[in-house]
Structure 1
Amino acid sequence: MKQALPEPPAAGPCYLPLSEGDIGRIHEAVLTVLETVGFADAIPSCIEALTGAGAVLAEDGRIRFPRSLVRDTISRAARNITLHGQDPRHDLHLDGNHVHFGTAGVAVNLVDAAQRIWRETRLQDIYDAARLVEGLDNIHFFQRPMVARDIADPLELDFNTLYACVTGTTKHVGTSFTVRENVKPALEMLHMIAGGEEKFRARPFVSSSSCFVVSPMKFAEDACGVMEECVRGGLPILVLSVGQAGITAPADLAGAVVQTVAEVLAGLVYVNALKPGHPAIFAAWPFASDPHTGAMAGGSPQQALLGAACAQMARFYDLPSSTVAGMTDAGLPDSQSGYEKGITDMLAALSGAHLVYEAAGMHGSLLGFCLESLIIDNDMLGHCLQSRVGMAAGDEQLSASLIARTCLGGPGHYLDSGKGQSGSEPGLERWQFREREQNGLSDIVSHAAAEKKRLLAERFPRHITRGMDDRLRARFGDLIRLPRGAMGG
């Protein structure tokens, strides 16, 4: 059994790309942008909520946010949020220096690492990813990382994506919806699983990623409707902005941070106007661009800088926060994938963000997702978490008396001291060459492929009983598209 990692040191984050002066200037620019530029394309219910809270609908049709409204919202916003799992062991506490890694994304291709090919993603792939994550200790939550390309209807897509996630893992699940109307049947399913609406509201084990904004500085009509419905339904909200530097956000990294933070704070005002104190997570996720092609550069140092800077801003506001990392530009789990994921995930862990999305399995700048990489990346994330904890340096750990005994008349080595190095069990990437050779596995990818095959043949979660699944299938009829045979019978 793996050792539990100790609590992180009180010192907190140590990768801080912004100085205190930078943070102050960014904050001032954010307030100025919200007050003077504001947002276009608000739907009527959004206008009603925001103007009722103190925002201003100007003659040009844009909603503008007085500084006092933004400051007041920040001061009253929910803190110390818990994202629940179906199993309480997987509850995520968004406070202090806790860091949690998880998946996310809208990949449209599955990367088969063993065969070195890409193919379109299917609903079964989402379920398979969820049940792999269920047993991977360093991936703490599961948000659908792929789009089920074998489902065309938006209602069926939203419903089945959520069904595949919550039946595949007991960890906290993140989801999203295409339109407002798709939220109601999903909530009904969640209430049935939880044992009633009241029980679900007490421990909501699903959150909604609400990308309510079309950058730069416009409301997204359908997404706003979804967010309003999710707030009413009691789902924690990931208040999300995903502008891309040089395309839908300023090319200068600081400018991209200003716009993204402004967009997220506008969303925070929106959520709190709908329901004061509703659990909302600061999700400023600006993406970097390749200057030569304009394509997203998910594995770049610029991406790491953007994510860490936004995490700093969230800590400045003392808000529960998330960032993104691990989004390698490599198409396969190779050396490029390893160094891009390892560096960006490590820096995200050191930045102080409570949640790191897209941290495992992603390839091709979010276009591809790989099940073998889930297994490899789980061990890499364990390395990040272990490294982040630091080391104890009390009297016992300093070992002065042990050094004296060993060197002054002792054996001259520490092999018999009874103390091995602290830490968790070796992961895949830490296997020495001889161990792989003895097991007939030439490299880490072949080992991960064999482990994936074994786990998918054995691991069929049963936290949702056959009887409950019968009731779900009776209630929702042909809406459920995942065959029972694909779930182990």
Structure 2
Amino acid sequence: LAQHFNCIHMLGNQVCAPVELPANSRHLDTYFTNLTLTDKSFHVSAIGRGRALDGIEMMAISRGLTLDQMRDDPGITTIISVNSPRRFDEMMAEGLMTMAEFGQSVAVTPFTLMGAMSPVTLAGALAQQNAEALFGVVLTQLVRPGAPVMYGAFTSNVDMKSGAPAFGTPENTKANIASGQLARRYGLPYRTTPGSASNAADAQGAYETLMALWGAVLGHGNLVYHAAGWQEGGLTASFEKLIIDVEMIQHMMEFLRPIEVNEAELAVEALGAVPTGGHFFGEPHTLERYATAFYQPMLSNWQNYEAWQEAGGLDATARATRLWKKALEDYVEPVMDIAVREALEAYMARRKEAIGQGEP
């Protein structure tokens, strides 16, 4: 599905976790799947040096590059999560340093949930987030000056009645905007997230995601992570939610397109040709542009109630089900050179054997 939609530019780490495979080596299977079923970049699991280096080496194989060439031409990224408050776990630190050593992109992201892992006040949480993020940024530069790095932000609040994480809240949205201001202050690219705590692809999921997405956009986010399919605070994913999110992202992309102003767009001739109280449907200016004048949603239904009922009365979630199934039917696997595929398979086999013998 990620391959199908052009507004999705990269994949997450594990679109779904293959829990039936050994936990210490299944990252290899997910890397292989990402590399063979899409032609988009992806986020590697940098939990320790081994997993980070596996992602770097497999991407290098797929691109026909050496590791030295990958240093100067990055192809993957990772999220390094801070164990807030004020702790970098050993495996995360190893992953960060490995990615920086080989010139790959890192988004240092504190996990600052207000009231739990950070102060209950937004200003206090942002101050903590800033210190933790900058620590990680500095560490990448100590390893390799000039290593690509992003300012990551994941500040939201918890439900103070239960302790459960909440997303798409007013506080989360303001944090997304303020974090972008901090990133720009330091001249860093900005990683952000439009999340939702809803357990279903429903109205709550849509309005929470859109609130957070506005924060990401107004914060000038460069990497909008967890952008499509996120549900239940990130514990589950939904095909229907992915379609709804893609629709919102496409709306946002069209909204951000600048208004074109020139003689033709001002439509002075059409304005003069239509009499008072008339209409523009039959004007040449309209007929020349009507097919592409407006964004055409893939999910929205603009029929009146009677026509909608006659067509089956499907709500947005039901229509989303049809759309993701059609997208899968239309999927075409990208072409990969057989020698490259065999090299990836050989690398996986070697590493699985080494991991089985205790190598990290």
TM-score, normalized by the shorter chain, greater than 0.5:
yes
CA distance in 2 between partners of 1:470 and 1:435 (Å): 53
CA distance in 2 between partners of 1:263 and 1:298 (Å): 21
CA distance in 1 between partners of 2:348 and 2:213 (Å): 39
Q: Deviations over 1:392-444 (max 9, x none)?
A: 34444333442222126xx9211122333733322212553677656546122
TM-score, length-normalised on structure 1? Answer: 0.65
Asked if structure 2 preserves the Cα contact closer than 8 Å seen for 1:191 and 1:200, the reply is yes
Residue number among 307, 320, 328 corresponding to 2:176 in the alignment: 307
Partner of 2:43: 174
Asked if structure 2 preserves the Cα contact closer than 8 Å seen for 1:242 and 1:285, the reply is yes
Residue number among 454, 459, 483 corresponding to 2:326 in the alignment: 454
1:207 aligns with 2:73: no
Q: Deviations over 1:238-266 (max 9, x none)?
A: 12211211111111011101100111111
TM-score, length-normalised on structure 2? Answer: 0.87
CA distance in 2 between partners of 1:475 and 1:348 (Å): 38
**Deviation of residue 454 (structure 1)?**
2.8
Aligned to 1:428, the other structure's residue is in SS state coil
CA distance 1:234–1:192, change in 2 (3 Å): same
CA distance 1:185–1:351, change in 2 (3 Å): closer
Runs (4 or more) in structure 1 with deviation over 4 Å come to 433-441
1:390-405 correspondence runs (5 A): 390-405=258-273
Partner of 1:426: 297
**Deviation of residue 339 (structure 1)?**
1.6
1:229 aligns with 2:98: yes
Q: Which runs of 5+ in 1 are unaligned?
A: 1-131, 481-489
Residue number among 244, 255, 267 corresponding to 1:376 in the alignment: 244
CA distance 1:466–1:363, change in 2 (3 Å): same
1:463-474 correspondence runs (5 A): 463-474=335-346
1:116-135 correspondence runs (5 A): 132-135=1-4
CA distance in 2 between partners of 1:438 and 1:174 (Å): 44
CA distance in 2 between partners of 1:436 and 1:199 (Å): 56
Partner of 1:151: 21
Q: How many residues align?
A: 344
Partner of 1:414: 280
Asked if structure 2 preserves the Cα contact closer than 8 Å seen for 1:328 and 1:363, the reply is yes
AA in 2 matched with 1:368: T
Residue number among 11, 27, 31 corresponding to 1:162 in the alignment: 31
Q: Deviations over 1:31-68 (max 9, x none)?
A: xxxxxxxxxxxxxxxxxxxxxxxxxxxxxxxxxxxxxx
1:273-352 correspondence runs (5 A): 273-325=142-194, 327-352=195-220
1:187 aligns with 2:51: no
Asked if structure 1 preserves the Cα contact closer than 8 Å seen for 2:58 and 2:344, the reply is yes
Aligned to 2:234, the other structure's residue is in SS state coil
Task: Tell me whether 272-281 or 459-468 shows the greater mean CA deviation.
Answer: 459-468
